[in-house]
Chain A
Amino acid sequence: MALIDELREAIITGNRDRTKQLVQKALDEGMTARQIVVEGVAPAMEIVGEKFRANEFFVPELLIAQRAMKEGLSLLSAEAVDHIGTVVIGTVKGDLHDIGKNLVAAMLEGAGFKVVDLGVDVSPEKFTAAAKDNSANIVAMSALLTTTMGSMRDTIQALRAAGIRDNTRVLIGGAPVTQAYADEIKADGYAPDAASAVEKAKALLAA
């Protein structure tokens, strides 16, 4: 099996040590960080995403694959990776649920995005400042409570007030969130799960 195939396999099966070894080997053999991400990590995570959507993989499998992926990425310097875009992500104000948000963040990272994770209970001001500081292409927000999802609208307004709404796409998700809600608050996209979030983010980037 070619090195790059082995690397993909190691990520998909969540083998952390093996992933790290293989990334190191690829670097030693002269592959660039960008090549490793584009040919190894991203396709592997895409397969993980597909399996997740087909109900073949679930949260635990996704989690171990992501851990292996992160272990591999830790050997690559951010500059060398040449990210396809920057996403600022967080769970909205008042909400402490971060499992879904973490899965999305890792999938985006695996797809080659630079991900700035603001954690949970993130205020509209904090989203806006981070989007500005990082020249983010996308602000991604998650909410698990119907009582907190209203904060998404506030963040969109804050982005507008800060004058950066036009060059920042807004992607939202979480159990109570729907496409209809995204339309209502004029978000640019809605993703029902971690795998679709990657696709949506790429589409928003191209739009």
Chain B
Amino acid sequence: MTLATVSFSPGGKEASVEAGVTLASAAALAGVPLRSPCGGQGRCGKCLVQARGKLSEPTAAERRVLSEQELSEGWRLACQAVVVGDAQVSVPASSLVIEHRIVAEGVGRETVVEPSVQKAALRLPLPSPDDARSDLTRVMDALGGRVAPPSRAAALRHLPHAVRAQHGQVTAVVIGGELVDVEAGDTSEACYGVAVDVGTTTVVLYLCRLGTGQVAGVASGVNPQAQHGDDVISRLQFAVSTEDGTRRLQREVVGLINDLVATVCQQAGVSRHAIYEMVAVGNTCMAHFLLGVPPLGLAGKPFAPGFKSGQDVGAAELGIDINPAGRVYMVPGIGGFVGADTVGVILASELDVSNGLRVAVDIGTNGEIVVARDGDLYACSTAAGPAFEGARISQGMRAASGAIDSVTVDGAVRYHVIGDVPPRGLCGSGVVDAVAELVKAGIVDGSGRFRAPEELDWVEEKVRRRVVRNEGGLEFVLAPAEESGTGRPVVITARDVRQLQLAKGAIYAGISLMLSRLGLEPEGIESLLLAGAFGNYIRRESAVAIGIVPAIDGERIVSIGNAAGVGARLALCSTSLRRRAEEIGRRVEHVDLSQEPGFYDHFAEAMALRPLSRLG
């Protein structure tokens, strides 16, 4: 076995690896988060690095993506280049997974705060000649018999010291009706929990004061599993085909959660030992990975999950760095790929108790749609693909600094860039806006066809000359090279428009099929809730104009932010809402769209770039 040292700049991180691993794996080991939208297949070219040292010859995939000139300058695709001996790698910022803008606000549901975690400050009489009760009996008696004795030895081990440390002043920690620990002194104020939304792309974590339900801190980060691909299918593939794959995915996400816990603790000046419970939501795959359950049944039809009910497990068992006696509650899922995050959305938006026809759409790589009719609930997932996250778009990027996030095209072209820096690409809302504006301006027709400059004699010259013909076909220049942050123009191409059509066609077909199955009309929707980060940034007018959602009154369309995360917070702070979540998980009817006849027709029709209503 030959060990090689691979160093990464800037940052100076190093990894000592066996010869034969890819630069991407070495980067992961060194803690350098490289982008990998295609899952390391050498197709997307986003993990570009410049390397010196002993590496394998360029692969066919690299020769396709890189020019001779670039290869001679040492540019490589990290997912393809294999370490032969020591190497030095320079990583351009554009190849790093970067922190992006995250929605951490949302809707709320009024509830009585009644967390599963209870702390009781007790003053115990110290043992005396006529009172030789055991320490445990002393605590149990003081608690008044409503609590089950501990099932872990650790609680007993802490007990004698705690009782004697401050003259009998102790705090009993009770979770779910069981005594789990006894702490010395009165620590009843230090009672926190965390709620975490484990997204395929982004993980958001909230620190909550359990006594009041207040949020004391928020932190978020990019799910490090992204190095195995952007979508859940690539990760499933990794989990089932790699030795120890599920465990590696589990360790990666737990590592991030622990970092986020440390961050929020620092923000709020709280010890991680004061955190007694974590409540998690996430899609079915994320739930499996968090608990380390191999998702074998999800890899092919009929997509049977390993579990779907709510799970209550020890935090230590998962390696979650909170109080060692703490618990982790995984919110239940619904069925197929529709998971706990959708239960969270329903919980937060009160769809389970509302009247009339309401629809919630979580627009993401996997779109989830919930239809609520007088409290009857139906949910489906629809594979929109990652276009809404900016992936598979030629100059797509996540909603991070440098991303164009909104566009107007009238007499001139105007755009807004996140972070007020020169633009480097487009994020999902920018793509939606750009396409909606090009359709409005007539540069793209309702079928999604780009019109050539010669067909556009009625368009103002300064806009028309932005329509250019390239090897790949027509494209529209949003920002010319001299305005951009990359030295190249930022464009949206004819192919990008097609990618968006596929993504939004899948979402709309999902909404349309669900409604038609229930014999309902889109016009009857009383409120349409857009959940998720994308839902918050998208312009409603654009979403309606190009038919991502049905053409209803703008006032009836409401962005509800990270509702899944809010749902997790509610389940953390209220045991009755946690029971409600269990009930929702059982009650929602999961609709498998792939089994639905007519999907094809709805999908094709839903690709039109115009306001849409009933299809079929």
Residues of chain A touching chain B, judged by Cβ–Cβ distance below 8 Å, are 54-61, 63, 93-99, 102, 121, 145-148, 176, 178, 180
Evaluate contact between A102 and B234: CB separation under 8 angstroms: no
Evaluate contact between A55 and B473: CB separation under 8 angstroms: yes
Report the bound CA distance from A96 to B41 in whole Å: 23
Residues of B within 8 A of A176 (CB): 41
Evaluate contact between A95 and B607: CB separation under 8 angstroms: no
Evaluate contact between B234 and A146: CB separation under 8 angstroms: yes
Shortest C-beta distance, A92 to chain B (Å), equals 10
- Indicate with 1 or 0, residue by residue over B451-479, a CB within 8 angstroms of chain A CB atoms: 00000000000000000000001100000
Evaluate contact between B594 and A96: CB separation under 8 angstroms: yes
Q: List 12 A-B contacts (CB under 8 A).
A: A54-B473, A55-B498, A56-B449, A58-B448, A58-B607, A59-B505, A59-B607, A60-B607, A94-B300, A99-B600, A145-B233, A178-B41
B530 interface residue (CB < 8 Å to A): no
Evaluate contact between A58 and B299: CB separation under 8 angstroms: no
Report the bound CA distance from A176 to B383 in whole Å: 14
Evaluate contact between B604 and A59: CB separation under 8 angstroms: yes
Shortest C-beta distance, B564 to chain A (Å), equals 25
Evaluate contact between B240 and A147: CB separation under 8 angstroms: yes
Evaluate contact between A147 and B61: CB separation under 8 angstroms: no
Report the bound CA distance from A55 to B501 in whole Å: 12
Evaluate contact between B299 and A147: CB separation under 8 angstroms: yes
Evaluate contact between B300 and A145: CB separation under 8 angstroms: yes
B379 interface residue (CB < 8 Å to A): no
Residues of A within 8 A of B299 (CB): 94, 145, 147-148
Residues of A within 8 A of B586 (CB): none
Partner of A58, one of B60, B240, B498, B605: B498
B301 interface residue (CB < 8 Å to A): yes
B608 interface residue (CB < 8 Å to A): yes
Report the bound CA distance from A61 to B449 in whole Å: 11
Evaluate contact between B300 and A180: CB separation under 8 angstroms: no
B325 interface residue (CB < 8 Å to A): no
Residues of A within 8 A of B276 (CB): none
Evaluate contact between B237 and A147: CB separation under 8 angstroms: yes
Shortest C-beta distance, B116 to chain A (Å), equals 36
Partner of B300, one of A55, A57, A147: A147
Evaluate contact between A95 and B301: CB separation under 8 angstroms: yes
Report the bound CA distance from A96 to B237 in whole Å: 17
18 extra A-B contacts, CB within 8 A, seeds A55-B495, A61-B447 = A54-B473, A55-B473, A56-B449, A57-B449, A58-B447, A58-B448, A58-B498, A59-B505, A59-B603, A98-B600, A145-B237, A145-B300, A146-B39, A147-B233, A148-B299, A148-B300, A178-B41, A178-B43
Label chain A's interface by main secondary structure.
Answer: loop
A63 with B237: in contact, given A58-B447, A96-B594, A147-B299 (CB under 8 Å)? Answer: no
Query: Nearest B residue to A96 by beta-carbon distance?
Result: B594
Shortest C-beta distance, B451 to chain A (Å), equals 10
Shortest C-beta distance, A50 to chain B (Å), equals 12
Report the bound CA distance from A178 to B44 in whole Å: 12
Shortest C-beta distance, B386 to chain A (Å), equals 12
Residues of A within 8 A of B41 (CB): 176, 178
Shortest C-beta distance, A91 to chain B (Å), equals 11
Residues of B within 8 A of A147 (CB): 233, 236-237, 240, 299-300
Residues of A within 8 A of B501 (CB): 58-59
Report the bound CA distance from A2 to B300 in whole Å: 51
Residues of B within 8 A of A59 (CB): 501-502, 505, 603-604, 607
B508 interface residue (CB < 8 Å to A): no
Partner of B301, one of A55, A60, A94, A102: A94
Evaluate contact between A97 and B594: CB separation under 8 angstroms: yes
Query: Nearest B residue to A60 by beta-carbon distance?
Result: B604
B279 interface residue (CB < 8 Å to A): no
Query: Nearest B residue to A97 by beta-carbon distance?
Result: B594
Evaluate contact between A60 and B447: CB separation under 8 angstroms: yes
Residues of A within 8 A of B594 (CB): 96-97
Residues of A within 8 A of B605 (CB): 60
Query: Nearest A residue to B505 by beta-carbon distance?
Result: A59
A146 with B448: in contact, given A121-B301, A178-B43, A180-B60 (CB under 8 Å)? Answer: no
- Indicate with 1 or 0, residue by residue over B589-606, a CB within 8 angstroms of chain A CB atoms: 000001100001001110
A54, A59, A94 interface centre (most CB from chain B within 10 Å): A59
Residues of B within 8 A of A61 (CB): 447
Report the bound CA distance from A147 to B301 in whole Å: 11
B494 interface residue (CB < 8 Å to A): yes
Evaluate contact between A96 and B301: CB separation under 8 angstroms: yes
Shortest C-beta distance, A168 to chain B (Å), equals 25
Query: Nearest A residue to B449 by beta-carbon distance?
Result: A56
Query: Nearest A residue to B606 by beta-carbon distance?
Result: A60
Residues of A within 8 A of B450 (CB): 55
Query: Nearest A residue to B295 by beta-carbon distance?
Result: A147
A55, A95, A102, A145 interface centre (most CB from chain B within 10 Å): A55
A146 with B237: in contact, given A63-B604, A99-B600, A178-B43 (CB under 8 Å)? Answer: yes
Residues of A within 8 A of B474 (CB): 55
Query: Nearest A residue to B61 by beta-carbon distance?
Result: A180
Report the bound CA distance from A98 to B301 in whole Å: 14
Query: Nearest B residue to A181 by beta-carbon distance?
Result: B41
Report the bound CA distance from A98 to B593 in whole Å: 13
Report the bound CA distance from A59 to B500 in whole Å: 13
Query: Nearest B residue to A147 by beta-carbon distance?
Result: B299
- Indicate with 1 or 0, residue by residue over B495-537, a CB within 8 angstroms of chain A CB atoms: 1011001100100000000000000000000000000000000
Residues of A within 8 A of B603 (CB): 59, 99
Partner of A55, one of B43, B233, B240, B449: B449
Shortest C-beta distance, A115 to chain B (Å), equals 17
Residues of B within 8 A of A146 (CB): 39, 233-234, 236-237
Report the bound CA distance from A93 to B302 in whole Å: 11
Residues of A within 8 A of B497 (CB): 55
Evaluate contact between A55 and B494: CB separation under 8 angstroms: yes
Report the bound CA distance from A95 to B607 in whole Å: 23
Query: Nearest B residue to A148 by beta-carbon distance?
Result: B300
Residues of A within 8 A of B449 (CB): 55-58
* 10 residue pairs, one from A and one from B, having the closest CB atoms: A94-B300, A55-B494, A147-B299, A146-B237, A60-B604, A96-B594, A55-B473, A63-B604, A147-B237, A58-B448
Report the bound CA distance from A145 to B303 in whole Å: 12
Report the bound CA distance from A95 to B604 in whole Å: 20
Shortest C-beta distance, B96 to chain A (Å), equals 25
Residues of A within 8 A of B39 (CB): 146
Residues of B within 8 A of A96 (CB): 301, 594-595
Report the bound CA distance from A147 to B233 in whole Å: 7
Report the bound CA distance from A196 to B474 in whole Å: 20
Query: Nearest B residue to A98 by beta-carbon distance?
Result: B600
Report the bound CA distance from A63 to B498 in whole Å: 15
Shortest C-beta distance, B500 to chain A (Å), equals 11
Shortest C-beta distance, B454 to chain A (Å), equals 14
